[in-house]
């Protein structure tokens, strides 16, 4: 909720109006680095922000920028006032004098209309804070240039105030970013390609008549940098370090390949246990819908075993199962549920059976997710495709079990509802 107070944040005084300078001021009113753009950018970032502390920061500064817009607008209007009645002043900018009546409008100094394209809003808080720091730096420079082209003392005072607040906001945004405790170059959630991220390409080469000298500094040497000759001359003998590309075979320094194989062998044993357990679960089910679901998943499980064997072939490894103690425990628990269900009513027995089956599904979902992520990191795309298909089947099976459970719960409520109706 906004409330306008009829008082400027900084009292504006113009001793000698200058319509041409008033036109320059419109850059900070409706321009790309102006106050309206800043107010909208920070406020909308704040509306999207899930972090209550930094949301407050964004809304505070966004609101202050609206106050700055009022200051700049008042300042520009006072400088443009002669364009209302003076022909020579009006000729300086007919757009303002004729179309706008000598007042301000949402244009920049070139007469281009304000646009939301000026805004930098990604929805990633750390990225947006970096954009805001850069926006404040650009605005500071614009104010500095305006001060340098201004002879009016009162105007300079207002511009000095506004310029100073840009630095204040830079400090606040920088400290908010620092307080998030994120590594400086950690952007988003997907890790960059190892090796490639530390390569500096020397793409501008040559000395003497052939071009400028190659310069070295902290941006391309030391601190883990690998100085790499331009891709354009990589084909030449002795050109330097080979460029790391996305298609390059990964260097498995962390033993991820062995971990992937271990996961696949664990899953293989788990799925083989299920091919024996699912027929028993289907036989124990009281309702046809649940029985059919178990029979359908049995066929899927048999196909999943084949996919795991195919993964081993693709990786050049023997398809050997490793005892999966987790699944062994879940299968044993399922047998207990089936035994206890013999003494229960149909709905209760099947709901207990669904609970046991969903515990199995969640175990498999986590196992397939881990294996798929490892395969992605190692760039085994064919293995990823196979595991993704099985993972999708497990997730779908879990959803189908949920649907059956809801149907059975509705059935369980019916006798009680009928009894209440009869009373």
Residue 308: the pLDDT is 95
d(CA 84, CA 103): 8
Same domain for 128 and 38, yes or no, is yes
Same domain for 80 and 219, yes or no, is no
Are 290 and 337 contacting, i.e. CB atoms less than 8 angstroms apart?
no
Q: Is residue 91 part of a domain?
A: yes
Mean pLDDT across 39-68: 96
Q: Is residue 244 part of a domain?
A: no
Look at the block and give the residue holding tokens 């075993």: 305
d(CA 230, CA 14): 56
Is 50 exceeded by the pLDDT of residue 423? Answer: no
Residue 420: the pLDDT is 47
Global pTM? 0.60
Q: Is residue 185 part of a domain?
A: no
* DSSP, res 201: E
What is the radius of gyration, based on Cα positions, of the chain?
34
CB-based burial label for 388 (10 Å; 0-12, 13-18, 19+): middle
* DSSP, res 374: H
**Does the annotation list 65 as a binding residue?**
yes
Is 70 exceeded by the pLDDT of residue 410? Answer: yes
Same domain for 161 and 273, yes or no, is no
Q: Is residue 184 part of a domain?
A: no
Report which of 93, 87, 91 is spatially closest to residue 109, judged by C-alpha positions: 93
Is 80 exceeded by the pLDDT of residue 241? Answer: no
According to DSSP H, which parts of 211-324 are helical? Answer: 256-284, 288-315
Q: Is residue 8 part of a domain?
A: no
Average pLDDT for the chain:
88
Residue 419: the pLDDT is 46
pLDDT digits (tens, 9 = 90+) for 224-233: 888 887 767 6
Mean pLDDT across 158-187: 93
Residue 215, token pair as written in the block? 């310069």
Same domain for 147 and 201, yes or no, is no
Looking at per-residue pLDDT, the higher value among 87 and 71 belongs to 71
Residue 413: the pLDDT is 65
Among 179, 208, 243, the domain boundary falls at: 179
Same domain for 163 and 201, yes or no, is no
**Does the annotation list 68 as a binding residue?**
yes
Same domain for 66 and 91, yes or no, is yes
Q: What percent of the chain has pLDDT over 90?
A: 66
Look at 102-116, 345-359, 384-398 and tell me which has the smallest mean pLDDT: 102-116
State the pLDDT confidence band at 247, using cuts at 50, 70 and 90: low
Q: Where in the sequence is the domain holding 215, given as residue range(s)?
A: 196-233
* Cross-strand bridge partners of residue 247: none
Q: Is residue 391 part of a domain?
A: yes
Same domain for 155 and 38, yes or no, is yes
Are 391 and 375 contacting, i.e. CB atoms less than 8 angstroms apart?
no
**Does the annotation list 56 as a binding residue?**
yes
**Does the annotation list 60 as a binding residue?**
yes
Report which of 249, 232, 274, 241 is spatially closest to residue 367, judged by C-alpha positions: 274
Residue 270: the pLDDT is 94
- Number of domains the chain contains: 3
pLDDT digits (tens, 9 = 90+) for 13-31: 999 999 899 999 999 999 9
Q: Is residue 243 part of a domain?
A: no
Residue 374: the pLDDT is 92
CATH number for the domain that contains residue 120: 1.20.1260.10
**Does the annotation list 380 as a binding residue?**
no
Mean pLDDT across 69-87: 90
Q: Is the dihedral of CA 147, 153, 159, 162 positive or negative?
A: positive
**Does the annotation list 35 as a binding residue?**
yes
State the pLDDT confidence band at 236, using cuts at 50, 70 and 90: low
Same domain for 206 and 152, yes or no, is no
Report which of 130, 114, 149, 123 is spatially closest to residue 34, judged by C-alpha positions: 114
Same domain for 328 and 375, yes or no, is yes
pLDDT digits (tens, 9 = 90+) for 144-163: 999 999 999 999 999 999 99
Same domain for 165 and 307, yes or no, is no
d(CA 52, CA 158): 32
Mean pLDDT across 257-269: 94
Same domain for 171 and 284, yes or no, is no
Same domain for 265 and 404, yes or no, is yes
Look at 33-37, 182-186, 292-296 and tell me which has the smallest mean pLDDT: 182-186
Q: How many helices (H) and strands (E) does the chain have?
A: 13, 2
Q: Is residue 11 part of a domain?
A: no
Residue 244: the pLDDT is 67
């Amino acid at each position: 909720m906004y409330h306008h107070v009829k008082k400027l944040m900084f009292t504006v005084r113009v001793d000698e109006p200058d319509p041409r300078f008033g036109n320059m001021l419109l850059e900070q009113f409706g321009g790309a680095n102006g106050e309206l753009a800043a107010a909208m950018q920070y406020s909308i970032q704040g509306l999207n922000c899930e972090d209550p502390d930094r949301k407050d920061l964004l809304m505070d500064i966004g609101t202050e920028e609206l106050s700055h817009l009022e200051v700049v607008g008042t300042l520009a209007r006072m400088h443009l006032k002669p364009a209302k009645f003076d022909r020579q002043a009006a000729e300086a900018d007919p757009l303002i004098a004729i179309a706008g009546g000598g007042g301000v409008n949402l244009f920049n100094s070139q007469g281009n209309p304000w646009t939301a394209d000026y805004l930098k809003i990604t929805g990633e808080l750390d990225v947006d804070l970096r954009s805001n720091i850069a926006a404040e730096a650009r605005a500071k420079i614009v104010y500095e240039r305006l001060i340098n082209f201004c002879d009016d003392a009162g105007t300079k005072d207002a511009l000095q105030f506004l310029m100073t607040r840009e630095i204040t906001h830079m400090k606040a945004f920088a400290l908010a970013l620092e307080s998030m405790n994120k590594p400086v170059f950690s952007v988003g959630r997907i890790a960059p390609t190892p090796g490639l991220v530390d390569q500096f390409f020397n793409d501008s080469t040559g000395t003497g008549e052939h071009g400028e000298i190659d310069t070295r500094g902290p941006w391309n040497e030391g601190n883990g940098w690998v100085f790499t000759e331009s891709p354009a001359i990589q084909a030449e003998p002795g050109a330097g370090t080979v460029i790391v590309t996305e298609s390059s075979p990964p260097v498995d320094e962390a033993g991820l390949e062995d971990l992937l194989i271990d996961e696949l062998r664990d899953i293989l044993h788990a799925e083989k246990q299920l091919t024996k357990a699912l027929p028993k679960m289907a036989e124990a089910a009281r309702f046809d819908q649940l029985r059919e679901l178990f029979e359908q998943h049995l066929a899927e499980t048999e196909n999943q075993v084949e996919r795991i064997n195919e993964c081993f072939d693709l990786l050049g490894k023997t398809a050997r199962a490793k005892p999966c103690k987790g699944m062994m425990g879940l299968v044993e628990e399922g047998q207990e549920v089936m035994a206890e269900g013999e003494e229960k009513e149909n709905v209760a027995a099947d709901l207990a059976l669904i609970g046991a089956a969903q515990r199995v599904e969640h175990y498999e979902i986590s196992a397939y997710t881990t294996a798929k992520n490892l395969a992605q990191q190692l760039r085994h795309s064919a293995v990823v495709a196979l595991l993704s298909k099985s993972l999708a089947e497990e997730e779908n099976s879990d959803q189908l079990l949920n649907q059956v459970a809801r149907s059975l719960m509705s059935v369980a409520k019916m006798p009680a509802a009928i009894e209440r109706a009869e009373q």
